[in-house]
Structure formats: C-alpha cells, structure tokens
Amino acid sequence: MTDRSMSERSAMAAETPFVAIIDDDPSIRESLGSLLRSVGLTALPFASAQEFLQQRLPDAPGCLVLDVRLPGQSGLEFQRELTGADIHLPVVFITGHGDIPMSVTAMKAGAVEFLAKPFRDQDLIDAVHTGIERDRDRRRALDALCDLRERFRSLTPREREVMRLVAAGQLNKQIAAELQLSEITVKVHRANVMRKMQARSLPDLVRIADKVTLAGDA
Amino acid sequence: MTDRSMSERSAMAAETPFVAIIDDDPSIRESLGSLLRSVGLTALPFASAQEFLQQRLPDAPGCLVLDVRLPGQSGLEFQRELTGADIHLPVVFITGHGDIPMSVTAMKAGAVEFLAKPFRDQDLIDAVHTGIERDRDRRRALDALCDLRERFRSLTPREREVMRLVAAGQLNKQIAAELQLSEITVKVHRANVMRKMQARSLPDLVRIADKVTLAGDA
DNA sequence: GCGGGCCCTATACCTTGGTATATCAGGCCA
DNA sequence: TGGCCTGATATACCAAGGTATAGGGCCCGC
C-alpha cells in the first residue's frame, strides 16, 4: 500500500488558512495585517515579490493580497509569473493608482478581486474569504488527483496500456490482439489494474481513468 | 430514431457569426457596425435592451457589444438579466464613463472584455472574435448535451433506473435485487438502454450517464 | 374491444469477464 | 550462487453479461 499521502494530508485537520500580503509600504502591511488578524486570519507580510518567493508557504488554503505597484515589477507581471510557475494562489489586488485596463487584465488572469483605494475593510475581507474558499476547493481537487496519479504510477507499463484500452471500451480479446498478448494475460493485467487503482467496478475505473486523462474514447 | 436535432443543427454548415450592438447613440452604432462589417462580421444594431430582446437572434455563434450606459437600466444590470434568462451570449463592454468597480463587476460576471473609450479598433475586433469563439465552443457543447438529453428522454422510467444503477457500477444481480426484478429483466432493460443511448460499450455509457448527470458513484 | 406500448418473465445458448494455481525469465541482494 | 521479488504467461474453472425467442399482464387511446 502506497496510498498514505492523501490520508496524511487530509488528516491534518487543523488547516488554518493564511493571507500573504505583498506591499512595499510597511504601514499598509501593518494595517492590512491587523485588519485580517482581527477576523481570525493568519497574515504573512512581505515587502516584495522576491521576499515572498523565498518564504516557504504553509501547506494550507490561502490567498494573496497584492499591490499592483511593486518595487521591482508590477503586480500584474508577478501574477503572470506565479501562474507560469504553477503557483495558483488566488490573488486579490489593491491599488492606489489603478485604471480600467489594469483591472481588466487582472481579472482576465483570474484575480479574485481588484480593489482601488480607498476601499471598505469589509470588501477586502470578503474578497480574501472568497479567495481562500477558492483555494480550498482547488487544493481538495488537487489532493484527490495526486492520489490517483500516485496509484497510476504504481502500474507497470503493460498495466497502463491495458487500463487505457479497457477504459476506451475495448474487449479483452481486442486488447490482447492489439498488444499481441493472450487474452488470459490481459485478464491478469486488468485485475491488477482494478486492485492497484482501487476501482470497485468498471464504471469506477472509467471515471478514474478519465480523471488521470488516459482515455481516448471508443 | 429520434436523433435528428443534432445532425440537422450541425449540418447547417454556413454558421456565419453575428455581433449585436446595443448603444443609444446612432452614430456609434453606425461606426461600430461598419468597423465590424469591414472585417466580415454581420452587425445587428439596437438602440436599447428592449429592442434587442424583441429581436429573434440568428441560430449562429455570436457576441454582444454593450454600452455600459443604456437608456433604461445599466449595461451591467442587463448583463445579469441575460444570464438570469439563460441567454449566454458573450458580452464585450464599451463605455465612455467607466470606473474600476464597474469593470471588475463586469468581468466577474463573465464579460469577455471591458473597453473604455477611446479604444483602438483592433482591440474591439479582437474582443469580438474572442467572444464569438467562446460562443462557438459553448454552442457545440450544448448541442452535444441536448442530443444526449433527447435520447435519455426516450428511455422508459425503468430503463432510466437501470441505467443509473449500471453507471453506478452495480451488477445485474444487484440491480435486480434493488428493483425487485429478475436478472433477465434487468438484462433486457440494459440492452434497451445501450441501444437507445447509442452507447457502444459500457465505458461509453458511463461517460454518457455522467454527462446527463445521472451518476452517484459506487 | 382491440392494437400497441411498457413492463416483467422464462428458456436456451454463447461470449466475455474474473479468479486460482502454476510456471518461467530477469533483476536484486545477502 | 542461491533465495526472492516482479512481470509475463498459461491452464482450468466459474460467474457475469449478452442475445434470441416467446409469452403474459396491464393500461391507454382509437
């Protein structure tokens, strides 16, 4: 059995959400931090994107509050950079000197919210909660997927092939012909696939296969 | 056979996209219309939301160019209204007096683009093309789904039950027990389901069932 | 009342799927 | 080198799925 990852991960019940704040103005970091702490959230202040990247983030649902104007690059660029680096923390933008094209770009890139100063405290809090909820969902889905992928990795190449063809709706006989095997051998592989993937039925396996994106229809 | 809808619909090859324009200023309608026509698009000008709603739209991929400020209600309200009425035409906003919260609201509600005047012609054209492409995809997916739903409607209640349980991974024997039937009866229903749903294999049926949202796992 | 659709059932037969047991080749390690 | 694990294979047997044919009960609309 090699399926400990998910159990362990989701067993860590106390997943207290966090909010990372990137703003070069210390007083803003301070006031945003205390605002968020006042509603029970963990605030992590950073003075720059670089500082943020050097920090190891908690393994919990979170959200990023990002000033559009940053020391080095712009917040929008940093948002793209994060996405490119496969870091999908939801982003809430705040800005003192924003314009419409900026906000549209940010929203198109998936930002949760784009707040122009001055904004109401409650608006920021709402946005942050939305972001955290979105991250929680994303993490849950990712966890499940990682678990499946791990099981899939435990398959031998032959088993993977067989799984692909089974999920595509081929009969054992057809699979045997395609892979130049005897039908019996296919059955053995098939049984191994069912066991290793923890599929309780063929429909179950089909759904799993589709999630791991093996399919191809037929 | 009752599966004519999709064949007919997708057989209408010449699906020339259209762009509806809602703006109370006639000269703007005119200039936007000629701009879009200049790139080969069909422009449909309207002076108000009401006028737009009274018109029957072409059965083709399209896009809506909407002024934020309209005679009666605001363009944002109208966008919500359309979504509520299950009209999912992609929306490109244009405005002379917009602000950030407005653009953010529009984008959150799924707008394709939010352009503040003055904007470059090419930006509008690009946005409209994006919208049309999005609509094309949506229509394609909807077509396929409608087709499946139509087939599903042709099932008798019993057949639907059996389909649900088959897709949930139950054995014929278990299904028979659950529905108080003999196993042979289940087989008959099952065969009917496969034929009526045009499923070529069990995995095929499972995927169809999931799309029609029958499942429930197991 | 009579045809037709739907639902249920049965017999018979064949195909396909699933499992147990056993064998063999190759890689790994004490 | 011998023991051991794993992947691939095979034989044999049993369970489940699929199809054809046939028949009975029920309800609805013509």
Q: A6 falls in which pLDDT band (50, 70, 90)? A: very low
* Separation in Å, CA of A88 to nearest CA in chain B: 18
- Is residue A216 pLDDT above 70, yes or no? no
Mean local confidence (pLDDT), A93-114: 96
What is the token pair recorded at B197?
């749903």
Which residues neighbour B84 within 8 Å (Cβ) at sequence distance 6 or greater? none
The Cα–Cα gap between B139 and B134 comes to: 9
Among the partner-chain residues B114, B169, B218, the one whose CB lies closest to the CB of A100 is B114
pLDDT of residue A5: 41
Mean local confidence (pLDDT), A28-52: 95
pLDDT in tens, A47-92: 999 999 999 999 999 999 999 998 888 999 999 999 999 999 999 9
The Cα–Cα gap between B82 and B103 comes to: 17
Per-residue burial over B169-196, b if 16 or more Cβ lie within 10 Å, else e, is bbebeebbeebebeeebbeebbebbbeb
pLDDT in tens, B124-181: 999 999 999 999 999 999 999 988 988 998 898 889 999 999 999 999 999 999 999 9
The Cα–Cα gap between B8 and A196 comes to: 45
Report yes or no: A202 and B203 within 8 Å, Cβ to Cβ: yes
* Separation in Å, CA of A81 to nearest CA in chain B: 21
The Cα–Cα gap between A49 and A45 comes to: 11
**Phi-psi sector, A114: left (phi>0), alpha (psi -120 to 50), beta:** beta
pLDDT of residue A157: 84
The answer to whether the C-beta of B182 is closer than 7 A to strand C is yes
Among the partner-chain residues B104, B168, B203, the one whose CB lies closest to the CB of A169 is B203
Asked, as a colleague might, if the bond just before A118 is cis with ω within 30 of 0, I would say: yes
The Cα–Cα gap between B208 and A73 comes to: 48
Structural domains of chain A, ranges and CATH numbers in brackets: 4-148 (3.40.50.2300), 155-211 (1.10.10.10)
Alpha carbon of B101 to those of B50, B67, B77, B79: distances in Å?
A: 25, 16, 14, 15
- Is residue A212 pLDDT above 50, yes or no? yes
- Is residue A209 pLDDT above 70, yes or no? yes
Per-residue burial over A62-88, b if 16 or more Cβ lie within 10 Å, else e, is bbbbbbbbbeeebbbebbeebeeeeee
- Is residue A4 pLDDT above 50, yes or no? no
Q: Which residues of chain B have pLDDT under 50?
A: 1-14, 214-218
Mean per-residue pLDDT of chain A: 88
pLDDT of residue B6: 41
pLDDT of residue A11: 43
Q: A180 falls in which pLDDT band (50, 70, 90)? A: confident
Q: How many percent of chain A have pLDDT more than 90?
A: 72
Instruction: Give the CA B156 to C1' D27 distance in Å.
Output: 15
pLDDT of residue B113: 98
Q: Strand C contacts (CB < 7 A) among A residues 92-131?
A: none
Contact check, Cβ <8 Å, B206/A203 = yes
Mutate: best of A206, A214, A217, partner B, most B CBs <10 A: A206
The Cα–Cα gap between B46 and B22 comes to: 5
